[in-house]
A and B are shown apart, each in its own frame.
Chain A
Amino acid sequence: METALAVLVGIMVATGVYLMLTANLLRYLFGLILLSNAANLAIFATGRLTRAVPPLVPEGLQAPAEPVANALPQAMILTAIVIGFGLLAFTLALVVRCYRELGTLDANAMRLSEPPAADEEH
């Protein structure tokens, strides 16, 4: 399963990078979503997978019976998902505000702070 996830993560990363390289900011946002999900999956896969045994300690025991899923990557992914959500929501707000102010989502047209040089063909 880990092998399949590794390949899947690669495809998601490639897709995300491809989307981020387009000039449209909304596509950029979608690329960001793909990247953050891919990163979570990568953490999950490298923590090794166990089918259907959640990291719970049964009543009456002091430690879970092996085999049990690795709890640490799960905790990290939980944090990452929430922070990723914050990042995406903020980026979305930025995108919306950009559109309101500039009337476009084309990043190539957003040259206010670093305007093209006079000698640059445009």
Chain B
Amino acid sequence: MTHSEVHSVGRRGDTVLQLMVLAVPVAVTVWLLTLLGPVRAQGALRFGIEWVPSLGVALDFLVDGLSLLFALLVGGIGIFVTVYAAGYLRGHPLLRRFYLYLLLFMLGMLGLVLAGNLITLFVFWEITTLASYLLIGFDHASATARRSALQALLVTALGGLALLVGLVLLGMVASSFDLAAVLARGEQVRQHALYTPIFLLIIIGAFAKSAQVPLHFWLPNAMAAPTPVSAYLHSATMVKAGIYLIARLHPVLASTDLWMWTLTLVGAATAVIAAVLALRQTDLKLALAYTTLVALGTLTMFLGSDDSVAVAAAITFVLVHSFYKAALFMVVGIVDHQAGTREINALGGLAGRLPVTFVAALAAGLSMAGFPPFLGFIGKELKYEGALAIATEPVLVAGAAVFANALMVAVAATVVLKPFVGSRPPALTATREASVSLWLGPLLLAALGLTFGLAPGLLADTLVQPAVTAILGRPETVKLKLWHGVNVPLLLSVLTLALGVAVFVWQRRMRDLLSRAARWLPLSADRLWDGALAALRRGAYLHTRWLQHGVLKGYLAVVFAAVAAGLLWVLVHSGGLPEQLGWPRLTVKEWAALALVLAGTLAAVGCRAPLTAICSLGAMGVGIALIYLFFGAPDVAITQLLVETLFLVLVAMILHRLPLANAVRGPRVRLGHALLASAVGIAVSLAILLVLQQPFGSPTKNYFELAAVPEAFGRNIVNVILVDFRALDTFGEVVVVLIAAVGAAALLGSRRRALSARAQGTRRNP
């Protein structure tokens, strides 16, 4: 088989694969479209199975107007993205892996927007986080892609942790994890003392996912992903997950001052800051990424209100934005693919070379800029109407919206005009139009923007109105119209266009001005992030060093200090010190045994020669055996003597080879050791004395004495306990000794092997 044959077989295999992958979003979209009618009729559909019933977790799905709208976006844009990716990544060696990640992401996203249970929702939420990590880092050989992927993962996963806590609290407060039940208990949740923490935790998760200031920095970096991924994740899906969550929980958490102010201010700040930053970019894809931030900020701002026009504006804008942003990302991808660059200054005059792409770009750009008769115009008019309808802060919201939209106009003009009109740089003469699979998606999406703009009724009744009804929890009528007559929103639109054109005309000068201003700005969120990561690593290193220093003495000192402190603490808290210590009345031989133990102990510390030390310990052992013997424990005494002898023999056999030199250390260190040792010793003594003062009654003692003969037929009670009542313990003990013996044999017996291994090591590293 020749090389080209292999290639064509691979190509054919790829085509089959692409068709199979494409079947998934197509099937999902068709199925969702069939649900449009029933959802409109019934409000919400539910289906699912039990998952963890004991915890109230169900694999449960809820299809209402809101979730249907987002699911349709996920499935519908998914179709275009799959087609586009087939052209964009043609012949890519890791195509299968890409489709796997893409489908995983699609699954997670669909599950997220359709989930009918708080915990299920969170699980799908995390699936999208993981899948987006894989997708952003798809170009895994690039360090930038890896860094961006990790950054996106960490930011959104940290937000996810906050979200999990928030959802669990919400479930507890609403006494159900079932979404429908939670949605019905908004009043109960808002009255609860835990409302503020619940709101903050959930909103942090949503803001991290939807890249609101100050957690916005990961999104522009995520442009390291292949363009089909950017078109999917950053137009219709991933970043809209946070928006979906905000809209989903709107009936539960909204209508408070906290909700209104947080969302309005953060959303407005995100929109304005991102609009300014978008202007700075000379990379087309980055400019689009920043306008995505603008869109997300605008959506958040409008969802802060519970006015029906504002919410309808947000929902319409979700649709508008998904259509034009996905189309424009794909257009930029085509330009990049065909011309080899996305830099504004290196592009120009491609309209003749990429005619179809230019048409798609023009239509999408006009929708983005908000020209009639595109859907973008309706969306923008509705935004201004909504902004003016917001009772508390109409000026702030309208001002932010006008500012953001004006800059959107400028960026739209840049993206559409800069690469396609003007003089063509000589490097671009060989550029040719892309294949059908590449331009089909953007063209159709842009056409959708025009179609729905001309016939907004198609959207208003089927998608927008049910979604607004679901968000506000009350039946709403939404009318979308192209022509509203001359009113304030129209005047604002004219103002926006004028501002946008002005910005576009003077954009080079403004960009210079901005980059000069940026140089004065000491830090960016991105650099702060790097600093935080470095500090985290440094902190982990230091505290590991501090806790795991590798000095045996240090570990032991901590253990013994903890023992002493624990014992003394218990002693102090359990009624203080023992009283009435009488001088023990002992016979001479008992005193002698005690003295023997004491002398052996102290001699073991003092002596320098190992043999002397072990003999002192032997003397101590004999003393202890004598004590056992004097106080009614002859069996123990015999065992003690036997073991003592055996151990002495063992040690004596090896001892002469080992040194017992004192480690060199100062008297102050020794004093410290002595103090710690004394503290442990005193604590143990006091504990025993205190135990001895308690009245003694042992039911087990009586039990064993009474049961030994009748039940176990033995007259030596100790023996009976060992081999009968606690036989399993004794068996364990035998096993322990056996394991110790095997271990010791393994350690000592491999002398020859150890020597040969060392010899080999020496040979390897001379």
Contacts and interface: CB of A to CB of B under 8 A. Distances in A.
Interface stretch (B198-206, B269-277, B304-312, B546-554): B546-554
A114 B548 contact: yes
Interface in B718-766: 718, 721-722, 726, 729-730, 733, 736-737, 739-741, 743-745, 747-748, 751, 754, 758
Interface in B480-507: none
B640 A81 contact: yes
Say which size band chain A's interface belongs to.
35 or more
Given A9-B688, A11-B601, A1 B631 contact: yes
Contact of B657 (A41, A99, A101, A114): A99
Interface stretch (B57-65, B346-354, B670-678): B670-678
Contacts of A90: 740, 743-744, 747
Contacts of A107: 551-553
A114 B673 contact: no
B581 interface: yes
B588 interface: no
Contacts of A89: 647, 650, 740-741, 744
Nearest to A112: B550
B643 interface: yes
A63 to B, nearest CB: 5
Categorize the interface residue count of chain B. 35 or more
A78 B580 CA distance: 32
B673 A113 contact: no
B624 A78 contact: no
Interface string B657-670: 11111110100000
Residue with the greatest number of chain B CB neighbours at <10 A, chosen from A10, A27, A77, A88: A10
Given A17-B681, A21-B676, A79-B722, A74 B633 contact: yes
Interface SS majority for chain B: helix
B685 A22 contact: no
A113 to B, nearest CB: 7
B658 A115 contact: no
Given A30-B604, A56-B716, A11 B598 contact: yes
Interface stretch (B145-153, B515-523, B689-697): B689-697
B680 interface: yes
A83 B736 contact: yes
A87 to B, nearest CB: 7
Interface string B585-612: 0100010001001100110110000100
B552 to A, nearest CB: 4
Interface in A52-81: 52-59, 61-64, 68-72, 74-75, 77-79, 81
Nearest to A94: B747
A22 B557 CA distance: 10
Contact of B685 (A7, A30, A48): A7
B141 to A, nearest CB: 32
Contacts of A5: 627, 688
Given A6-B689, A37-B621, A116-B550, 15 more contacts: A13-B685, A15-B604, A17-B560, A17-B681, A47-B698, A56-B715, A62-B709, A74-B718, A75-B721, A82-B733, A83-B733, A90-B744, A92-B651, A93-B743, A114-B548
19 contacts: A11-B601, A13-B681, A15-B604, A21-B553, A21-B677, A22-B662, A22-B663, A26-B658, A46-B691, A53-B632, A59-B715, A63-B709, A70-B701, A75-B726, A84-B643, A96-B748, A97-B754, A108-B663, A110-B552
